[in-house]
Amino acid sequence: MKIAIYSHSIPSSLFIENLIEGLAQRGFKVYLFGKKLEEKSYGKNIFVKSTPKGNWAINWFIFGQSLLLFVRNPMVLIKTYRLVFSKNRMGIVQTKLSCFLPILNNPVDIFHFQWGNDLTKHQELFTLLKCDIFVSMRGSHFTYAPVFRKPLSDAYRTYFPKVKKFHAVSESMRQNGEKWGAAPERITAIYSSIPDRLIGMFKPFNRSMESPVKIVSIGRFHWVKGYNYALEAVHLLKQKGVQVKYTLVANENVPEELLYAIHSLGLSREVAIVNGLPHEETINLLQTQDILLMCSVAEGLANVVLEAMAVGIPVISTDCGGMAEVMKDGETGLLIPIRNPEAIAKAISNMQAMPAAELSQLTKKAHQAILQKHTLGNMLNGFEKLYRTP
């Protein structure tokens, strides 16, 4: 069976790369389309059909792909050009053709959009493709983005009836998809996985938390991550005499509002910002911390929480999206309400006060939860069933 895993960039996010490689190992022929961001060597059964960089290179690419499609199916080529030129400005035509032509020249059984946002950019594929189209429901594309991006919500309502099946990263995300027009019977929840390598790094948390308590948050700098609430919580703890070292890890420029919050709350000594760490170094840093704090306002299923649970770091998470499906409050971590600095501060104090034996038991149960629901094998079983079931 031929599957196109489309995320518009090659390589993609780590969890999508795990899916790609896992499907290939199970005998699926996996096709990747999009722009190549960096070189990566893929193994057997993975076929990369990337778009080149540079204006002239793209034009020659379009010319070559057009000739190839003309030989194979001239009527599809004519239909593609008519559709693209009739619906797009000239500046967009090149982008569309360089995307669509290699897809049409490499027919697959299933074309799987990994991000809902791509529906607004590639609507023509619903007309051009003859295969089944699948869509994954992940993160911001199905939580807050459709609320204020009308073109996105309109695209969902228009094209969801044409989607054969949906994959949701959680039961909560399934409900979000239904709000935007996805038929419930077409949605399957398949939880994200953690690589075996990370699961093998597990060490139970066998120590009491000393002062200052070391807390880390990992994720992009965006309002949905709730970092302002975390900073206010650190300020509350500081006022009570609790010593905290709070580290923020992300790959983007730091927003002015966060820098100003750190300054105005007097937290320059308590807060450190680490920018641009590779994933391996991020995990290494995570393992030196006492607490992973995930304070988002909305999430699908936060992979960083799964990673912390896998390696044995205690987790405090807001009860948003599918997080209650991952964690049991007081058993595998602490769940707190969103937008609540007081609750964050209280949870940090409560976790810091836990004896070493209790922390060890909490992290062991958290690790067991990962083994039960979030292994690569479990995820691949879910996708294999999704793809093979008519």
pLDDT tens-digit readout, 103-143: 999 999 999 999 998 988 899 999 999 999 999 999 899 99
pLDDT tens-digit readout, 9-43: 999 988 899 999 999 999 999 999 999 988 899 99
pLDDT at position 178, please?
A: 94
Distance (Å) of CA 182 to CA 157, 211, 224: 8, 49, 24
Least confident of 54-63, 70-79, 80-89: 80-89
The helix or strand, by DSSP H or E, that contains position 91, with its residue range, turns out to be helix 90-105
The answer to whether 2-51+109-193+376-388 and 196-373 have equal CATH topology is yes
Q: How many CB atoms are closer than 10 A to CB 254?
A: 14
Q: How would residue 67 be classed by pLDDT, with cut points 50, 70 and 90?
A: very high
pLDDT tens-digit readout, 261-300: 999 999 999 999 998 889 999 999 999 999 999 999 999 9
Least confident of 82-96, 155-169, 212-226: 82-96
Q: Parse the chain into domains and list their residue ranges.
A: 2-51+109-193+376-388, 196-373
Mean pLDDT of 49-71: 95
Omega of the bond leading into 355 within 30 degrees of 0 (cis): no
Mean pLDDT of 338-347: 98
Angle at which helices 303-311 and 356-373 cross, to 10°: 120
The helix or strand, by DSSP H or E, that contains position 217, with its residue range, turns out to be strand 213-218
pLDDT at position 119, please?
A: 85
Distance (Å) of CA 128 to CA 80, 90, 152, 292, 347: 7, 20, 20, 46, 53
| C-alpha–C-alpha distance, residues 179 and 365, integer Å | 34
pLDDT at 365 > cutoff 90: yes
| C-alpha–C-alpha distance, residues 272 and 367, integer Å | 28
| C-alpha–C-alpha distance, residues 327 and 334, integer Å | 8
| C-alpha–C-alpha distance, residues 221 and 386, integer Å | 34
DSSP 29-87: EEEEEEEE-S-----TTEEEEEEPSSHHHHHHHHHHHHHHHHHH-HHHHHHHHHHHHHH
pLDDT at 88 > cutoff 80: no
For residue 332, give every residue at least 6 positions away whose Cβ sits within 8 Å of its Cβ, in sequence order, or none: 309, 315, 326, 362, 365, 366, 369
Mean pLDDT of 172-180: 93
Q: Classify domain 196-373 at the CATH superfamily level.
A: Glycogen Phosphorylase B; (3.40.50.2000)
The three-class DSSP label of residue 268 is coil
Q: Please, what is the end-to-end C-alpha distance for the chain in angstroms? A: 13
pLDDT at position 14, please?
A: 87
Q: Of all residues in the chain, what percent carry a pLDDT higher than 90?
A: 89
- The model's pTM: 0.92
Least confident of 83-97, 155-169, 354-368: 83-97
Residue with tokens 């840093």: 285
| C-alpha–C-alpha distance, residues 58 and 91, integer Å | 13
Among the listed residues 332, 339, 336, the one whose alpha carbon sits nearest the alpha carbon of residue 318: 336
To the nearest 10°, report the CA torsion of 330, 172, 312, 229: -70
Contact 23, 112 (CB under 8 A): no
> 324 - beta bridge partners?
none
| C-alpha–C-alpha distance, residues 332 and 335, integer Å | 9
Among the listed residues 363, 253, 358, the one whose alpha carbon sits nearest the alpha carbon of residue 305: 363
pLDDT at position 25, please?
A: 96
Distance (Å) of CA 65 to CA 60, 79, 102, 155: 9, 15, 6, 28
Q: What's the topology of domain 2-51+109-193+376-388?
A: Rossmann fold (3.40.50)
pLDDT at position 352, please?
A: 96
